[in-house]
Structure 1
Amino acid sequence: MSMPLGLSIASHSGLPPAKVGALAGAAELAGFSAVFVAEGHGDALALCHPVAAATRHARVGTAIANAALRPPVLAAKTAAQLDQASNGRFILGLGVANSVMNERFGIAPFAPLAMIEEYTAVVRAVLAGSPTGYDGQVFRAGMVPLDSPPLRAELPIYLAALGPRMLELAGRIADGVILNLMTPAQADAAVSVVRASAKAAGRDPESVEIACVVHCCLGSDALAAAAARAAVLRYVMHPAAPRLFGELDGGPSLRGVQELVLAGDRAAAADAVPQQVADVFVVHGGADECLARASEYAAAGVDLPVLFPMPADGDWGYEKTIAAMAGKIT
């Protein structure tokens, strides 16, 4: 298989750092060209250290880290250290999460587009050793000394994007974009927005790498189908859920599911997710089914499909996924 493929390991899997590193090493041996850490309730950047230590060639990154949790100067310092630890293989993937989650963390509401644009600028100013720092409307920073020069002053910054305005921003300023919760058809439209925005900004449209998270659950039984429904719950409270899950296009409403989540009955909420909705966003079956779905995203213009295993009955299935892909992506 000539298509590059990434793997995402969830911090919310609760795996210890040593295990995360061991999985990353196994994924590299199996042929995965990138290993990302998804931030749940842990620290994705911290977990990138064992990933970097366990790999030699695969790129290492966050897909994604919540920028709202960290001052941009701290993110820049940590990214510089991770790039050194990985010998120039690190990708800083940033997002703004959603207002519901951030409110739970005690973060006041903010304008996401302005925030992430200036955040990116601060990180770049720190890495470049700008003597004037950065003076914006959201962030201000003076010259920030680092213990040692960054391995790459132009360390790649990828932005998570779902809506058209964030996609346009990513095309204009980012080194890459991380798509999520998109059908191949939606990804195709998103790719067009990113490429057009990059071109309008005077950039080479192909210079912006487009990655897309592909939720998967290996297994052909009812357990995997249930895991697909449960995966929807992680995103059903997102403000953009009606658009992301197709309700605005005439698909089934997930309002009943949202009400059950708010009531704290996640088991009933998962049962209430229409299987056809879950199956659009979470591919389940064997390795061939996962690869076929990844190929659909590649055909839509995605440069790097990133498999994101979902748990079935408590088992995240990383070993199963990695073993199933070995020999198919090398």
Structure 2
Amino acid sequence: MRTSLRLNNDLSPAEFCALAEAAEAAGFDQLWVSDDLMLHSATVLLTAAATRTSRIALGCGIFNPYTVHPAELAMTAASLHELSGGRFRLGLAAGAKQFLEWVGIEQRRPLAVTRDAVTAVRALLRHELVDLPGWTDQARLRTAVADVPIYLGAMSPKMLELAGEVADGALPLLYPPEHFPTAKAHIETGLARAGRNPADFDLPACVWLSLDRDRARAEAALADKIAYYGSAFSPYLLERAGLTRADFAEIDAAGAAGDHDRARSLVDARMLRLGIAGDVEDVLLRCRWLVDRGATHLSFGPPLGPDPRAAVELLGAEVLPALGSGEPG
């Protein structure tokens, strides 16, 4: 069983590095960080973590080709690959439409733009010519060839199938975790279409986790995260949990008014099922459900718990051993 930890880029470099060290000590195979707009730079966080760790694989989940050009994505990937001693993984996706609109960017043709970004970045990293309109033969990296695995952050059926066609792995955010078999089937469709071996593809079951020995504290931490992000989820994923964006209207209004306590209190049991919250036994129960349905890589994302460092240590001490983790990342 392969395991990974996913963190948000709302952490300071010092906080992120502390958790990176804790994740490596806990036995995680991979550590991923988001690159959401208007927070800390994922590139800076990963650079710092690369100098503070020695074994754990480090990835960005995700960069998007709308705010960062594929040429710069390739430059960043090659540089982090070199700095980390080959531990870097590049996560790409179209990004969140809502966040791109903050800076006046329209998310046009997300599937085609993402496919072209993978094509360009992979060619550049291999010192091959980019076969896309407008690129010249001067568009080549002057750094060493870098064998960087590319993962797609995919949630929609078509993007999941694209991941199976062109990527080395995927980062399908599972809201709820029980969506895993459906996501896996779409990726397998893409793999079959491209004639690829599923054994060569890394498919983490990416879940939101909030872990604490006190179940109520764990649920409160997850409720805070759901109150902030819930209405930004795609209708497709919300439907999987029996929800719609309209269910979050009161929560959004409370958050916009600065009443975060009320927003948290409005998160109901159905919404909490979007992630996994509770004590060790609660977490193991739902993780084992995923393993029974073919998950060979479990990826735990924020909030992790009211005390993220304690949650990481608890995962390493009691959850990962029970799940039989240990495959290299």
Q: Name the TM tier (shorter chain).
A: 0.7 to 0.9
Q: Pairwise mapping of residues 29-178 of structure 1 onto structure 2 (< 5 A)? A: 29-40=25-36, 41-130=39-128, 132-136=129-133, 140=135, 142-152=137-147, 155-178=148-171
Aligned residues of 1:8 and 1:35 also touching (Cα < 8 A):
yes
| 1:143–1:259 Cα change, 3 Å | farther
Unaligned runs of 5+ in 1: none
How many residues of Structure 1 are paired with residues of Structure 2 in the alignment?
Answer: 314
Distance 1:143 1:129, change over 3 A: farther
**Stretch moving more, 320-329 or 88-97:** 320-329
Q: Report SS of the residue matched to 1:115.
A: helix
Instruction: Report the CA distance shift for 1:84/1:192 in structure 2 as closer, same or farther (over 3 A).
Output: same
2:269 equivalent in structure 1: 275
1:191 aligns with 2:189: no
State the 1:233 CA deviation.
3.0
Partner amino acid for 1:258?
Answer: A
Q: What is the match of residue 258 of structure 1? A: 249
Say if 1:216 and 1:282, in contact at 8 Å, map to a contact too. yes
Aligned-CA RMSD value: 2.3
**1:306 Cα deviation (Å)?**
1.3
Offset, 1:239: 6.0
Of 287-296 and 41-50, deviating more is 287-296
1:211 paired with 2:211, answer: no
Note the C-alpha offset of 1:252. Answer: 4.6
CA distance in 1, matches of 2:288, 2:61: 20
Residue pair 2:127, 2:145 contacting (<8 A) in 1 also:
no
C-alpha deviation, 1:145, in angstroms: 4.0
1:24 to 20, 24, 43: 20
CA contact (8 A) 2:7 2:33 kept: yes
The residue type paired with residue 45 of structure 2 is L
Identity of aligned residues (%): 27
Give the secondary structure class of the aligned counterpart of 2:184. helix
Q: Distance in 1 between matches of 2:253 and 2:131?
A: 41
Cα 1:47–1:33 change in 2 (3 A) is same
Aligned counterparts of 2:136 and 2:42: Cα–Cα separation in 1: 24
Could you tell me the TM-score, scaled by structure 2's length?
Answer: 0.86
Instruction: Verify the 8 A CA contact 2:116 2:132 in the aligned structure 1.
Output: no
Compared with structure 1, are the counterparts of its residues 48 and 298 closer, same or farther at alpha carbon in structure 2 (3 Å cutoff)? farther
- Alpha-carbon distance between aligned partners in 2 of 1:226 and 1:141, rounded to the nearest angstrom: 53
Give deviations 1:114-145, integer Å, cap 9, x for gaps: 00000111101211112x33324xx7454334
State the distance in 1 between where 2:221 and 2:209 align. 9
303, 306, 315: which is aligned to 1:325? 315
- How far the C-alpha of 1:243 sits from its partner, in A, is 2.8
Is 1:230 matched with 2:224? Answer: yes
1:161 is displaced (CA, Å) by 1.0
Using the size of structure 1 for normalisation, the TM-score is 0.86
Unaligned runs of 5+ in 2: 322-329
SS of equivalent residue, structure 2 residue 317: coil
| 8 Å Cα contact 1:129/1:143 also seen in 2 | no
Aligned equivalents of 1:108, 1:321: Cα separation in 2: 38
Provide the rounded CA distance (Å) in 2 between the counterparts of 1:185 and 1:22: 31
Q: Is the 8 A contact 1:188 1:300 kept in 2?
A: yes
**Per-residue deviation, 1:226:** 2.4
